[in-house]
């Protein structure tokens, strides 16, 4: 018996979401009195995983490009080799792509968007978000093997230092008629999925030409930029920045909303963020009811001042 | 080309979410239902394949008779025929198993589903369906072109997008971007009249196959009231974020 966690890396570095999944895996392994094993592709070294409680790492070097079908099948073989009864994945785009394929391969029940350690092991019950963050659902997984997708920034990073032993793993790889022909990824920008802070703006900014200050504020905070639905529908910003019920969910530590009134669909998308700051001219904007801190004021006056003050703050605190 | 579009019948995005029976059931009282938005982007893209590439479109859904107005709406938008699998959608695996059983033997080249439903947000049905049918699979799909048996899809990834080359049969988890919001179609009177005559077949489900179930629901704890900071006291906001919230 064991707990297996798939720890995703990007150019040799483990993603924060992967380390969070490992932290979660350690909590489950401890509760079940068993070991935590990680599966990696092309990982350089294992010590960082050891920090979060991983005792053994199976590393696959024989796969180059990402392919969901091949990855899912490799994870399945690792789970079988380690007799894993719980398999943990993160909420990254790739992990969400892999998980449903893996569930069919392992005949395992799958709960996605899980935000807390199991409340009970028998029956096996986890808490997940549903109705786009408007509610939580306590879900029982009744299969012998369970698959859990851990939401970003929910369980958190929990150090549990041990020594991780790495071994090479060479599964029999399946073939696939699907291949990636090109990747378009801005390497100098923080993605919404990986961001600790998101700076988001809405129609209150009046036009796409005014996004300079949003980007500058994001730069100062090391944040990703996002926008409301009308802004992406108007073509002011790309769809990939649209946050809300039909866009991306955001679960960051700090979400700053500028000139966004706070429609119910938008609030649903950002509900899992810990601290919300709202800047809006309209004191009656519904977003103020969902926020932790607010400034009633004109974004064109407030945001430049905020950037200036934050620069001073960052200079003093770095 | 034969297309199958999976339709989820979900609460409208503005719905207030409440629960009944000791927080074990979703409260449908006063809730308006719509086509799951991610499915509607897929259906609209399917209409493009119908109009430009002569595709036929079947739609399929798992649910009781109460879901039929949603299916009629999809027919009014332009799908050719509907299949309703007469069963409760207990979990993603159940839905995928029913859909796979119904799709098998249907000769579908392309199956378009939404990347997730906006009610349970499982994000698992399209991938499970692809695995069960041994079809290729692309999720978070924001662009799709078909030429012969080849498909080119664009998938949204964290911080960007990637272009994928694959072959039919193919299952897609679609989302906004597959078509623009402004491309979505409101059924016209002619479409609504024609939809009444289009076939809506009710089939009984394959064997029940649930792996998970919802034990109970909770609503997030109510928030405290917002702390307002004067627009000319930005230092106070920074102080609160640093010392109180500890997020900067």
Facing A193 at nearest CB: one of B128, B158, B226: B158
Report the number of distinct structural domains present in chain A: 2
A150: tokens are 């851990």
Q: Copy the structure tokens of residue B169.
A: 């049969």
pLDDT at B42: 98
Domain-embedded: residue B123: yes
On average, the pLDDT of chain B sits at: 96
Q: Is the pLDDT of residue A1 over 80?
A: yes
**Residue B61 belongs to some domain of the structure:** yes
When pLDDT is averaged across residues B27-53 and rounded to a whole number, the result is: 97
User: Do A210 and A233 meet the contact criterion of CB atoms below 8 Å apart?
Assistant: no
Nearest neighbour of B127 by CB, restricted to A100, A221, A293 = A100
pLDDT band at A10 (very low <50, low <70, confident <90, very high): confident
Which residue, among A56, A60, A82, has the nearest Cα to A71 in the 3D structure? Answer: A60
Say what the pLDDT of residue A198 is. Answer: 97
Mean pLDDT of the region B208-215: 94
From chain A, the residues in CB contact with B92 under 8 A are 100, 110
Residue B245 lies in a domain: no
Q: What is the pLDDT of residue B3?
A: 98
What is the C-alpha to C-alpha distance for residues B32 and B15, in angstroms, rounded to an integer? 7
- Domain of residue B44, CATH code: 3.40.50.620
A151 and A90 Cβ atoms separated by less than 8 Å: no
For A238, B74, B77, B136, B141, the CA distances from B173, given in Å and listed in that order, are 20, 18, 20, 11, 6
Query: What is the per-residue pLDDT for A190?
Result: 87
pLDDT tens per residue, range A248-267: 989 999 999 999 999 999 99
- Chain B residues with beta carbon closer than 8 angstroms to that of A277: 237, 241
d(CA A30, CA A37): 12
Domain ranges, residue B131:
2-220
pTM for this prediction: 0.95
Residue B137 maps to a domain: yes
Find the closest chain A residue to B235 by CA distance: A309
pLDDT-based confidence at A12, cuts 50/70/90?
A: confident
Where residue A187 falls among pLDDT bands split at 50, 70, 90? confident
pLDDT more than 90, % of chain A: 90
* CA distance, residue B70 to nearest chain A CA (Å): 18
DSSP per position, chain A: -EEEEE--EETTEEPHHHHHHHHHHHHHHHHHT-EEEEEEES-S-SHHHHHTT--EEEEE-S--S--HHHHHHHHHHHHHHTTEEEEEE-SSHHHHHHHHHHHHHHT-EEEEEE-SS-SEETTEEEEEEETTTTEEEEEEE-SSSEEEEEPTTTS-------PPEEEE----PPP-S-EEEEEEE-TTS--TTT-SEEEEE-GGG-SGGGTHHHHHHHHHHTPEEEE-HHHHHTTSS-GGGBBSSSSB----SEEEEES----HHHHHHHTT-SEEEEEES-TT-THHHH-SEEEES-HHHHHHHHHHHHHHHHHH--
A274 near B CB under 8 A: yes
pLDDT of residue A88: 98
Interface residue of A99, A187, A246, A267 to substitute, partner B, most B CBs within 10 Å: A246
Do both A57 and A97 map to the same domain? yes
Instruction: For residues A137 and A207, state if they share a domain.
Output: no
Q: Is residue A187 part of a domain?
A: no
Residue B126 banded pLDDT, cuts 50, 70, 90? very high
pLDDT at residue number B5: 98
Collect all residues of chain B within an 8 Å Cβ-Cβ radius of residue A142. 210-213
Q: Provide the sign of the torsion angle of the four alpha carbons A87, A90, A95, A96, taken in this order.
A: positive
Looking at the DSSP bridge assignments, the partners of residue A95 are: none
Tell whether the torsion through CA atoms of A49, A50, A51 and A52 is positive or negative: positive
Q: Average pLDDT of A52-81?
A: 96
Q: What is the pLDDT of residues B151-185, one digit of tens each?
A: 999 999 999 999 999 999 999 999 999 999 999 99
Token couple for A68: 């969901």
Q: How far apart, in whole angstroms, are the C-alpha atoms of residue B179 and residue B130?
A: 22
pLDDT tens, position by position, A142-182: 999 999 999 999 999 999 999 999 999 999 999 999 999 99
The pLDDT of residue B208 is above 90: no
Inter-residue contact B5 to B61 (CB < 8 Å): no
What range defines the domain where residue A152 resides?
A: 2-168
Are A100 and B123 inside 8 Å of each other by CB?
yes
With a CB cutoff of 8 Å and minimum separation 6, the contacts of A280 are A204, A257, A258, A259, A260, A261, A287, A288, A294, A295, A296, A299
pLDDT at A129: 96
Number of H helices, E strands in chain B: 6, 15
Q: Are residues A17 and A139 in the same domain?
A: yes
A88 close to B (CB below 8 A): no
Q: How far is A17 from chain B (nearest CA, A)?
A: 12
Dig out the tokens for A117 from the structure: 């350690």
Residues A38, A112 share a domain: yes
HSE-CB for A256 with a 13 A CA cutoff: 29
Claim to verify: residue A161 and residue A237 sit in the same structural domain:
no
> Is residue A176, in this structure, part of any structural domain at all?
no
Contact partners, residue A95, CB within 8 Å, separation at least 6: A6, A8, A17, A89, A149
Determine the Cα angle at A55 with ends A11 and A252, to 5°: 50
What value of ipTM does the predicted structure carry? 0.96
Using pLDDT thresholds of 50, 70 and 90, give the confidence band for residue A236. very high
Q: How far is CA B92 from the centre of its chain?
A: 12
Number of domains making up chain B? 1
pLDDT digits (tens, 9 = 90+) for B85-94: 999 999 999 9
Are A104 and B140 an interchain contact pair (Cβ–Cβ within 8 Å)? no
Residue B244 has pLDDT above 90, yes or no: yes
Task: Check pLDDT > 80 for residue A138.
Answer: yes
Q: How far apart are CA B217 and CA A26, in angstroms?
A: 26
Is A136 at the interface with chain B, CB within 8 A? yes
**pLDDT at position A251:** 92
pLDDT at B223: 79
Query: For position A311, which CATH number holds?
Result: 3.40.50.1220
Q: What is the DSSP letter of B192?
A: H
**Within a 13 Å sphere around the CA of B198, how many CA atoms are in the beta-carbon half?**
24
B interface test, pick of A91, A92, A93 with most B CB neighbours within 10 Å: A93
Q: Do A239 and B142 touch (CB under 8 A)?
A: yes
The pair of three-digit structure tokens given for residue A303, joined into one six-digit string: 């945001």
In a domain, A146, yes or no: yes
pLDDT for A64 equals 80
Interface of A with B in 145-174 (CB under 8 A): none
The rounded distance, in Å, linking the Cα atoms of B68 and A291 is: 39
Q: Are residues A251 and A114 located together in one domain of the fold?
A: no
Question: Could you tell me if residue B165 is inside a domain?
Answer: yes
Q: Among partner residues A101, A183, A233, which is closest to B131 by beta-carbon distance?
A: A101
Q: Which of A168, A188, A223 is the last residue of a domain?
A: A168
**Cross-chain residue pair A109–B181, CB shorter than 8 Å:** no
The CATH code of the domain that includes A36 is 3.40.50.620
Using alpha carbons, list the distances in angstroms from residue A244 to A25, A239, A247, B218.
29, 11, 5, 20
Kindly state whether A96 is in contact with chain B, defined as any CB-CB distance less than 8 angstroms.
yes
The count of CB pairs under 8 A between chains A and B is 264
């Amino acid at each position: 018996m064991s707990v297996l966690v798939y720890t995703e890396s990007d150019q040799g570095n483990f993603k924060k979401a992967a380390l969070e999944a490992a932290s979660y895996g350690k909590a489950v392994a401890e509760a079940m009195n068993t070991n935590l094993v990680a599966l990696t592709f092309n990982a350089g070294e294992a010590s960082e995983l050891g920090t979060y409680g991983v005792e053994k790492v199976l590393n696959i070097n024989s796969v180059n490009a990402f392919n969901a079908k091949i990855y899912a099948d490799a994870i399945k073989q690792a789970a079988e080799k380690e007799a894993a009864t719980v398999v943990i994945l993160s909420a990254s785009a790739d992990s969400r792509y892999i998980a449903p394929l893996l569930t069919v391969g392992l005949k395992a029940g799958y709960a996605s968007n899980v935000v807390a350690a199991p409340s009970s092991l028998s029956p096996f019950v986890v808490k997940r978000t549903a109705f786009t963050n408007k509610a939580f659902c306590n879900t029982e997984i009744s299969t012998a093997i369970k698959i859990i997708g851990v939401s970003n920034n929910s369980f958190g990073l929990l150090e549990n230092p041990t020594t991780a032993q790495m071994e090479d793993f060479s599964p029999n790889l399946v073939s696939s008629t699907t291949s990636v022909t090109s990747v378009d990824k801005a390497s100098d920008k923080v993605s919404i999925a990986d961001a600790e802070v998101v700076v988001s703006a809405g129609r209150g900014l009046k036009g796409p030409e005014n996004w300079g200050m949003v980007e500058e504020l994001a730069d100062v905070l090391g944040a990703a930029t996002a926008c409301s639905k009308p802004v992406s529908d108007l073509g002011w910003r790309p769809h990939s920045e649209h946050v809300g019920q039909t866009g991306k969910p955001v679960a960051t530590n700090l979400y700053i909303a500028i000139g966004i009134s706070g429609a119910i669909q938008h609030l649903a998308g950002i509900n899992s963020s810990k601290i919300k700051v709202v800047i809006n001219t309209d004191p009656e904007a519904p977003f103020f009811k969902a926020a932790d801190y607010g400034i009633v004021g004109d974004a064109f006056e407030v945001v430049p001042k905020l950037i200036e003050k934050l620069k001073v703050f960052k200079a003093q605190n770095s | 080309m034969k297309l199958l579009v999976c339709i989820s019948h979900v609460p409208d995005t503005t719905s207030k979410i409440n629960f009944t029976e000791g927080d074990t059931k979703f409260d449908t009282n006063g809730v308006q239902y719509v086509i799951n938005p991610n499915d509607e982007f897929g259906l609209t893209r399917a209409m493009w394949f119908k109009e430009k590439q002569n595709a036929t479109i079947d739609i399929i859904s798992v649910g009781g008779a109460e879901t039929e107005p949603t299916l009629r709406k999809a027919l009014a938008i332009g799908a050719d025929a509907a299949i309703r699998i007469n069963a409760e959608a207990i979990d993603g695996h159940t839905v995928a198993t029913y859909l796979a059983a119904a799709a098998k033997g249907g000769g579908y080249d392309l199956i378009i589903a939404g990347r997730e439903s906006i009610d349970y947000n499982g994000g698992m049905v399209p991938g499970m369906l692809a695995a069960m049918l041994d079809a290729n699979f692309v999720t978070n799909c924001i662009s799709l072109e078909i030429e012969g048996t080849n498909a080119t899809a664009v998938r949204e990834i964290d911080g960007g997008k990637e272009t994928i080359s694959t072959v039919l049969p193919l299952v897609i988890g679609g989302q906004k971007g597959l078509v623009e919001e402004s491309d979505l179609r409101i059924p016209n009177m002619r479409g609504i009249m024609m939809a009444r005559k289009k076939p809506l077949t009710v089939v009984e489900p394959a064997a029940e196959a649930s792996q998970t179930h919802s034990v109970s629901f909770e609503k997030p704890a109510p928030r405290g009231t917002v702390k307002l900071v004067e627009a000319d006291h930005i230092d106070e906001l920074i102080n609160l974020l640093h010392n109180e919230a500890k997020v900067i």
